[in-house]
């Protein structure tokens, strides 16, 4: 049979069977479609395998990890000082808010049907009335005001809040505010391989409701007793009740990621249209200013000695080392103290501030050590302006009627993220207080130092519990020296050896500008120059200042918790001063009633303890029925913020590159 006849026979048989001949175009289409389907199935299978064993994407819903991770929130710029911060807006998406919006949609559909098809007499007016009430209820969940962490001014975030202000108050607001949009929470990648380590941010199944995923920081490991006290974490072996509790220290990358701004001196609040019309011109004292040269020997206490300064040792006996039965007396005494500087502070050749107290210069002619000190002068403003009482100091400043001198306060673990006020609460004057008023004593100081001549020295100082922690840098040699109470208190070291002054070498030995950061966190001192940590020749950790079963009590010196000193002949200037605090862990949340001085949590094998970084507004292991997460419930470690909310830019969806980062 010829090849031509064979081909005709094959085509005939194929036609009889109603199928395309081999090699035809129709067969190619069938094969391509099948390959496409198979590829999609394989892709989904690989995606599920990747999700199950490698990584998965999550969206952060709430602010329990703020500001490490953001839930639904608003990005705000304070109209008074210009500082940028975030306010939580999770209330806009909670169950009640969603029900309110659903009711609005149902009534809108009913109204459209009534208008198009008619209905019972009077029903149209009834639905219109119900819709108006429902819309007002739905709008009440919008976050309408927040408090700036830098200057504590209450910022309006919704035009409707401004419209609700009385005319007498509207004129105090700089301008009619724009509606600040709310943004969804961070989108993160969670890895599902590797070991779980302390301080990791972990996603896990909620022990009381396994189908719900939670995200917190892993702080307690199996086989130990975890203690929360004074904002810090301690641990001892579970089986050894005689072992002492030892503080848990975070590695430096975690420390830097978890610091929160207390005050940024570049953002000076103003009270008028001009940035030069600062609150200083209306009698409010700058937070950084000249300090008495003998501050370290004398701490002012007008109750006991209205004419001068009390010796620090005596103040410690009165305020810091009181027996328990006198603790209440001591605290009451602290509350009554005004703590004012003496009037005459000018030291010849000492620090000279610029007009806005942002930059301070020493010309090198001083013959003695001169000091700048920070005092936490925070205008008192517990509620937005509509409800400001006579003691509201922001209202007094705006009206230029400051009634009383400012009083320095202790630094609190304040977090602006928690201070959002809903529109309904703003209208009714109801404010749920999520303010963390616990004293935050772990601090860090950052500044830019300009060295004009390599001579003399500078000192960075932080106060904690009445003790003075110093980093002294010699500008000629670059040598840095650490000390506690000027060497009277020892750092940790091997038994039998003495460690009073750890020494290290810095690159500061020539004229130029340097970025310095001095950190006192987790009972450890650290010094960074231009972002690099200085290595010291001895440990920079120190023993607990009080026994681990006693609460640390503030002293009068803690009301001036940071200082910058310049030695005789030192010619330098400092600016861009930023004071930070560490994350402060509460032993009990605000929802559990009175705060406890400390709490212990035993952890058996396979049990992990989880805390939110924002413990003032976090439902975490402190208040679960079982205070731990079993190992099988762990999902993975939060690795990277891959898509925070977009920002305004040339594109409709301009990526927020600044917030894209690895999670520490």
pLDDT given at position 326: 42
pLDDT given at position 348: 55
For residue 405, name the pLDDT band (cuts at 50, 70, 90): confident
Name residue 578's beta-bridge partners: 264, 446
| Percent of the chain with pLDDT strictly greater than 70 | 79
* For residue 522, pLDDT beyond 60: yes
- At 125, give phi and psi (nearest 5°): -65, -35
pLDDT given at position 400: 85
151 contacts 78 by C-beta, under 8 angstroms? yes
Q: Which CATH architecture has domain 260-374+434-581?
A: Sandwich (2.60)
Model pLDDT for residues 412-433, shown as the tens digit of each residue: 999 999 999 999 988 887 776 6
Tell me what the mean pLDDT of segment 324-341 comes to: 43
Pair of tokens at residue 437: 């008023």
Per DSSP, the three-state class of 62 is: coil
User: What DSSP element (H or E) covers 206?
Assistant: strand 201-206
482 vs 306: which has the higher pLDDT: 482
Question: 143: buried, middle or exposed (CB in 10 Å: 19+, 13-18, 0-12)?
Answer: buried
Q: Which of 20-29, 299-308, 316-325, 347-356 has the lowest mean pLDDT?
A: 20-29
646 vs 159: which has the higher pLDDT: 159
CATH class of 187-246+590-662: mainly beta
Which residue from 470, 539, 533 is spatially nearest to 505, judged by alpha carbons? 533
626 vs 596: which has the higher pLDDT: 626
Largest CA distance in the chain: 128
* For residue 589, pLDDT beyond 70: no
Model pLDDT for residues 244-297, shown as the tens digit of each residue: 999 999 999 999 999 999 999 999 999 876 667 889 888 888 999 888 766 665
In this structure, the dihedral spanned by the alpha carbons of residues 60, 61, 62 and 63, taken in order and rounded to 10 degrees, is 30
Question: 39: buried, middle or exposed (CB in 10 Å: 19+, 13-18, 0-12)?
Answer: exposed
Pair of tokens at residue 128: 């219109």
What string of H, E and C letters represents the secondary structure of 262-312? Answer: EEECCCCCECCCCCCCEHHHHCCCCCEEECCCCCCCEEECCCCCCCCEEEH
Per DSSP, the three-state class of 202 is: strand
């Amino acid at each position: 049979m010829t090849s031509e006849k064979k081909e005709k026979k094959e085509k005939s048989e194929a036609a009889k069977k109603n199928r395309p001949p081999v090699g035809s175009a129709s067969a190619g289409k069938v094969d391509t479609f099948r390959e496409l389907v198979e590829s999609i199935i394989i892709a989904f299978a690989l995606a599920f395998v990747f999700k199950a064993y490698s990584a998965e994407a999550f969206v952060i819903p709430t602010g329990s990890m703020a500001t490490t991770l953001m839930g639904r929130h608003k990005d705000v710029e304070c109209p008074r000082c210009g500082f940028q911060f975030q306010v939580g807006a999770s209330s806009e998406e909670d169950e009640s808010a969603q029900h309110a919006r659903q009711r609005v949609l149902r009534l809108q559909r009913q109204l459209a049907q009534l208008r198009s098809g008619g209905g019972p007499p009077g029903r149209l007016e009834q639905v219109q009335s119900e819709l108006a009430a429902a819309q007002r209820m739905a709008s009440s969940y919008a976050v309408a005001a927040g408090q700036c962490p830098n200057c504590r001014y209450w910022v309006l975030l919704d035009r409707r809040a401004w419209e609700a202000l009385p005319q007498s108050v509207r004129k105090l607001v700089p301008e009619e505010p724009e509606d600040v949009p709310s943004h969804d929470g961070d989108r993160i990648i969670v890895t599902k391989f590797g070991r779980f380590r302390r301080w990791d941010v972990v996603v896990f199944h909620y022990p009381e409701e396994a189908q719900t995923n939670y995200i917190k920081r892993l702080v307690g490991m199996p086989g130990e007793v975890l203690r929360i006290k004074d904002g810090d974490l301690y641990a001892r072996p579970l089986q050894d009740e005689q072992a002492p509790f030892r503080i848990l220290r975070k590695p430096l990358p975690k420390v830097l990621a978890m610091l929160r701004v207390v005050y940024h001196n570049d953002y000076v609040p103003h009270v008028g249209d001009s940035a030069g019309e600062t609150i200083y011109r209306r009698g409010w004292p700058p937070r950084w200013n000249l300090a008495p040269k003998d501050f370290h020997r004398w701490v002012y206490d007008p109750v006991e000695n209205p004419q001068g300064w009390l010796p620090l040792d005596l103040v410690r006996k009165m305020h810091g080392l009181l027996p328990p039965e006198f603790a209440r007396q001591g605290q009451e005494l602290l509350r009554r103290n005004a703590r004012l500087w003496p009037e005459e502070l000018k030291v010849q050749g000492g620090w000279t501030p610029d007009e806005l107290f942002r930059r301070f210069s020493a010309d090198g002619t001083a013959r003695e050590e001169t000091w700048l000190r920070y005092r936490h002068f925070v205008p008192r403003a517990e509620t937005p302006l509509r409800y400001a009482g006579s003691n509201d100091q922001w209202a007094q400043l705006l009206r230029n009627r400051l009634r009383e001198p400012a009083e320095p306060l202790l630094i609190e673990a304040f977090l602006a993220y928690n201070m959002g006020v809903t529109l309904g609460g703003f209208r009714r004057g109801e404010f749920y207080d999520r303010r963390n008023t616990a004293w935050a004593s772990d601090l860090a100081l950052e500044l830019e130092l300009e060295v004009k001549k390599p001579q003399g020295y500078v000192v960075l100082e932080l106060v904690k519990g009445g003790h003075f922690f110093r980093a002294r840098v010699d500008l000629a040699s670059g040598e840095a020296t650490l000390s506690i109470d000027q060497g009277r208190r020892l750092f940790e070291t091997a038994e039998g050896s003495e460690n009073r002054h750890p020494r290290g070498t810095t690159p500061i030995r020539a004229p130029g500008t340097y970025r310095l950061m001095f950190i006192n966190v987790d009972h450890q001192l650290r010094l960074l120059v231009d972002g690099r940590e200085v290595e010291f020749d001895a440990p920079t950790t120190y023993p607990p200042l009080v026994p681990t079963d006693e609460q640390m009590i503030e002293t009068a010196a803690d009301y001036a918790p940071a200082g910058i000193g310049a030695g005789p002949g030192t010619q330098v200037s400092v600016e861009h001063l930023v004071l930070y605090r560490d994350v402060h862990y509460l032993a009990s949340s605000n929802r559990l009633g009175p705060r406890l001085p400390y709490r212990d949590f035993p952890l058996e094998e396979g049990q992990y303890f989880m805390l939110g970084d924002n413990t003032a507004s976090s439902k975490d292991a402190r208040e679960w029925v079982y205070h731990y997460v079993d190992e099988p419930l762990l999902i993975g470690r939060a690795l990277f913020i891959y898509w925070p909310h977009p920002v305004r830019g040339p594109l409709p969806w301009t990526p927020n590159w600044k917030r894209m980062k690895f999670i520490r």
